[in-house]
Each structure stands twice: as C-alpha cells, then as structure tokens.
Amino acid sequence: MHKDNQPLIFEMTKEGRVGYSLPELDVPEIDLNDILPAGLIREEAADLPEVSELDIMRHYTALSKRNHGVDSGFYPLGSCTMKYNPKINESVARYPGFANIHPLQDESTVQGAMELMFDLQEHLKEITGMDEVTLQPAAGAHGEWTGLMMIRAYHESRGDMNRTKVIVPDSAHGTNPASATVAGFETVTVKSNEHGLVDLDDLKRVVGDDTAALMLTNPNTLGLFEEQILEMAAIIHEVGGKLYYDGANLNAVMSKARPGDMGFDVVHLNLHKTFTGPHGGGGPGSGPVGVHKDLIPYLPSPVLVKTDDAYTFDYNRPETIGRVKPFYGNFGINVRAYTYIRSMGPDGLKAVTEYAVLNANYMMRKLQPFFDLPYDRHCKHEFVLSGRRQKKLGVRTLDMAKRLLDFGYHPPTIYFPLNVEEGMMIEPTETESKETLDAFIDAMIQIAKEVEDNPEIVQNAPHTTVIKRLDETQAARKPVLRYTKTE
C-alpha cells in the first residue's frame, strides 16, 4: 500500500478544468429567468471538483490501492461470507438488456428480466424450502423488517392484536432487534446455554401469548447448529408465534438442511453473502424473503406471477403489507446471484457448503492449541475464538486484529457475538485454498507467540499500513463529516 496521503479530490481542483463531455445542446437556448420562479434559480454553484479525466482516474486508482478487497487477499470476516466474487456475474449484470432497462416499461418489453426474476425465485424456493419468495427487499436488514411486517399483518388479520414481542437470542446480529423495533415490536432476549445454543428453558420462560415471533440464525453466530430446532419450533408454534430465519449463515447448510423443513415461517437471504453479491464496500446487497404459505397474502406488492403466456406483476393484493421499496428490488444484484446459482448447479452448491464447513473446522482445530475455544465441538462455516488468554498478558483481541493487517489479511469479525469475551469470529469460505488457510494459520500462531515474547509489536500494530491506528474518539467528539475549503 502507498504511504503518502492521497489528497481529497477537492484539494486537486483547479478552476477551469473539466472532466465531462455532455451531448451537444441542439435545441434553442432559453433564459431560465423566463421559466423558473424568482428565488428558485441556484445562485451559487455547488462547489464540486474541477479536474480532468486523468486526474479522476489517478485519484480513484490511488484510493483503490488504499483498500483491501477479496481480490486483494484473504478476508475471513465472520458472518459476512467474504467469498470470491465471480467475474462472469459482473459481465452479465452489465448486459444492456439487464443494465439499461426501465422499471416502468411495458411488461411486454421486459419479459427477459421478469423471466430471470421468476426463475431466481423458483431456485430460492427450492433452496430454502419455502412456498413463495419476494425479491423486493434491498438488503438483509430490509428483509428482516419486511418479514416481521408480514408476521405482524398475519397476527392482526386474525384479530390477534396483542402480539407485541419479538424474541431474539443474545448472540443475534444487531439488525434483528433493530428491525423488530422498526416493525413496531418490543425485543425480548433469550439466553444461550453453556453449549452456545439457545437455552430452551429460558425460551419457555419468555414465550407467551404476546409472542409475535422468534428470530433465529441457524447455524447461529457462533457457527453452531441449533440442534434443538424442532423443539424450538414447537415451543413457538404452540403459543401461536412465528419462526423467523435470518439467512446470514445459509452458506453453512445448503443441501444439508432447509429452513422450510426446520419449521421456519419466514426466511430472508443475503444474496451478497452466500450468493456472491458482491459486497461493494458496504452495499448494494439484496435481501429476498421466503415465506410459508400462511404468509403469502401479506407479501409486498407487486408479486411476480407467471401466466400461460407471460410474466406479469400482480398488484391486486388486498392483504399486502404494501411496498417496501420502489420497483422490484435490487435487480442488478439479483442478476449476479442468479448467474452464480446457475454456474454452480445443485452439486456445486452442495460442495460449497461442504468445503466451507471443512475449511472452518480445519482452521479451528489448527488454532485451538493457541487460543481459547469457548465451544469445543464441530462448527459449521465459521467459529469463534476467544482472546482472553492473550488479554491476561496485556494484549487485546483488537491488537491481534491490527497485527493481522501487517500480514496482509483482513482480520476476523471481533467482539462479536457479544456473549464471547474478546471474540474473534473467523469464516474462511469455500473459495480459499488450503495454502491460503495454512498461511493465515501460521500468521495467527506467530501472533500468539508474539503476545508471549514481544507483546509490544502486537500492541503497537499495525506497522505496515498506509496509516496507523486512528483516533476514533476525536472523530466522534468533534465530527468532521465533510470537506470545507479553507481560504
């Protein structure tokens, strides 16, 4: 990485330079004053950069060199499934017939796009074991909220107005309780037991006739399969609640167990995780939602249906929760996910899960002697180590994460889930080779040894990055959220 600070694009500005080539204005010019009301014509131009095209390319190329992606190196960020993003996906999504079509064109002119969406829905139904799928939600959290709104509509349609509570495990993703709040529910936390799984006794304690739903990730955020899933489903269903599946960890169970068969009523998927989105530096994602047949009437409108001779959007959905997004979802991401599924096929998706889980277990066992492993059993696609042994020697998990940067790795997810002290959540994915895993394992072991022999090198890490540790307290206390020109 380059050590010199890259100036802001605004600092490269020179009056009079341009980087654009607009179409020729081939109609008569007009005076805006003749058309726009006084006071609505902009007086002072927005202070955007004035740079040439080469300036722009150099700037963003320099920025890209100061960024680490999956193509740059190993990225075992737990819970995020940072697998390889196939290039064919990028090409297909850019076909003019997919990239340059308008969502409000007559349906007869976009049948190819609708066919792709429909077939993707069919594939996702089979993969999840659900009865219907909507592609409308834009991301995982958006899907969570959509699913919860459907559950709410379901209960209310039956005159069951007092189901105000959504139960989430203490190990859940932060989006689960946040989505519950946005959907108008109160969150109740259910504890994990000593095995890292949901404590059934505690679950029985917190359920009741006010339970709207239980949100569950399976395998959970510790990478452990909730073995008592059928018992949990029975507990929830007996009190009239619904079971919600957070699909963030679907990469761990494809072709091994389907949410629909486990008793889940609603499922959201993160197509940017399991189905190679890509992540885009934080988005865009896509968060389709699958439902059990009981919930079909409440799906967001419109619903894509296939008639004898065409695909069409059905807007006649009297019980729908309404729209959750303008148009039909993040189509461009859905094209990528569809291309991926079609590249893998049934045997490919099965191998994906098997190798993702094999890789994770291999790493876990190789690292187990050097770090604490709070839950010692086979994991699924990810596992969580604890840095409490190292903490006693004065080195925190944060320090070890920063030290990994010196080896060219993106660190694991740290301090999550919340029920593991000094947690490090490692997810290798199936697209990494054994050589890559071995090199990372060696780096981790070396760091563990450094903690014992030379803790300062870890505590003061990183040493090789373009910038050292940043002052986050200052950033929050005196927020500077935009550039301001200094005269």
Partner 1 sequence: MKHRYLPMTAQDEKEMLDVIGIQSIDELFADIPEKVRFKGEYKIKAAKSESSLTKELAQLAAKNADTNRYASFLGAGVYDHYKPIIVDHVISRSEFYTAYTPYQPEISQGELQAIFEFQTMISELTGMDLANSSMYDGGTALAEAGMLAAGHTRRKKILVSRAVHPETRDVVRTYALGQSIAVEEIPLKDGHTDLEALKEMIDGDTAAVMVQYPNFFGQVEDLKALEPIIHEAGALFAVSANPLALGALTPPGKLGADITVGDAQPFGISEAFGGPHCGYFAVTKQLMRKVPGRLVGETVDEDGRRGFVLTLQAREQHIRRDKATSNICSNQALNALAASVAMTALGKAGAREIAVQNITKTHYMKQQLKGAGFDVIFDGAHFNELTVKTKTPSKKLNARLLEKGMIGGYDLGRSYPELEGHTLIAVTEQRTKEEIDAFVQELAAAVQEMGATHA
- The interface with partner 1 within residues 57-116 (CB under 8 A) comprises 57, 59-72, 75, 77, 80, 82-86, 88, 90-106, 108-113, 115-116
Stretch that binds partner 1, among 199-207, 208-216, 226-234, 450-458 (CB under 8 A): 226-234
Q: Which residues pair with 312 in a beta bridge?
A: 305
The least CB distance from residue 372 to partner 1, in Å, is 19
The least CB distance from residue 212 to partner 1, in Å, is 12
- Total of chain residues touching partner 1, rule CB under 8 A: 207
The least CB distance from residue 202 to partner 1, in Å, is 18
Nearer to partner 1, 294 or 406 (CB): 406
Q: Which of 162, 193, 234, 256 binds partner 1 (CB under 8 A)?
A: 256
The closest alpha carbon to 216, from 205, 228, 208, 204, belongs to: 228
Indicate whether 322 belongs to the interface with partner 1 (CB under 8 A): yes
Indicate whether 265 belongs to the interface with partner 1 (CB under 8 A): no
The least CB distance from residue 1 to partner 1, in Å, is 7
Q: Which of 307, 308, 316, 482 binds partner 1 (CB under 8 A)?
A: 482
On whether the CB atoms of residues 78 and 426 are closer than 8 A, the answer is: yes
Q: Which of 74, 78, 142, 241 binds partner 1 (CB under 8 A)?
A: 142
Residues 333-392 that bind partner 1 (CB under 8 A): 333, 339, 341-352, 354-355, 357-359, 361-362, 365-366, 377-378, 380
On whether the CB atoms of residues 374 and 196 are closer than 8 A, the answer is: yes
Q: Please count the CA atoms within 13 angstroms of the CA of 453 that sit on its side-chain side.
A: 6
- Can the peptide bond before residue 219 be classed as cis, meaning omega within 30 degrees of 0? yes
Distance separating alpha carbons of residues 309 and 117, to the nearest angstrom = 16
Dig out the tokens for 329 from the structure.
């979802």
Q: What is the 3-state secondary structure (H, E, C) of 406-422?
A: HCCCCCCEECCCCCCCC
Indicate whether 306 belongs to the interface with partner 1 (CB under 8 A): no
Nearer to partner 1, 174 or 394 (CB): 174
Q: Which of 327, 421, 452, 454 binds partner 1 (CB under 8 A)?
A: 327
The least CB distance from residue 454 to partner 1, in Å, is 19
Distance separating alpha carbons of residues 479 and 473, to the nearest angstrom = 10
Indicate whether 161 belongs to the interface with partner 1 (CB under 8 A): no
| Cβ partners under 8 Å of residue 152, min gap 6 | 163, 183, 184, 185, 212, 321
Q: Which of 326, 392, 486, 487 binds partner 1 (CB under 8 A)?
A: 326
Q: Which of 53, 376, 452, 456 binds partner 1 (CB under 8 A)?
A: 53
The least CB distance from residue 389 to partner 1, in Å, is 21
Distance separating alpha carbons of residues 460 and 454, to the nearest angstrom = 11
Q: Which of 159, 161, 194, 281 binds partner 1 (CB under 8 A)?
A: 281
Residues 231-250 that bind partner 1 (CB under 8 A): none
Dig out the tokens for 217 from the structure.
């990730």
Cα 296 versus chain centre, distance: 25
Q: Which DSSP state fits 372?
A: B
The closest alpha carbon to 184, from 158, 166, 170, 172, belongs to: 166
Indicate whether 47 belongs to the interface with partner 1 (CB under 8 A): yes
Per-residue binding string, partner 1, 194-223, x by CB under 8 A, is ------------------------------
The closest alpha carbon to 340, from 81, 159, 145, 111, belongs to: 81
Indicate whether 14 belongs to the interface with partner 1 (CB under 8 A): no
* Gyration radius of the chain's alpha carbons: 25
Stretch that binds partner 1, among 23-31, 203-211, 442-450, 451-459 (CB under 8 A): 23-31
Indicate whether 272 belongs to the interface with partner 1 (CB under 8 A): yes
Residue type, 261: D
Sign of the CA dihedral with 140 first, then 142, 146, and 148 last: positive
Distance separating alpha carbons of residues 243 and 41, to the nearest angstrom = 54
Nearer to partner 1, 51 or 395 (CB): 51
Residues 420-479 that bind partner 1 (CB under 8 A): 430-434, 462, 465-472, 474-476, 479
How many CB atoms are closer than 10 A to CB 295? 23
Question: Which helix (DSSP H) or strand (DSSP E) does residue 266 occupy?
Answer: strand 266-269
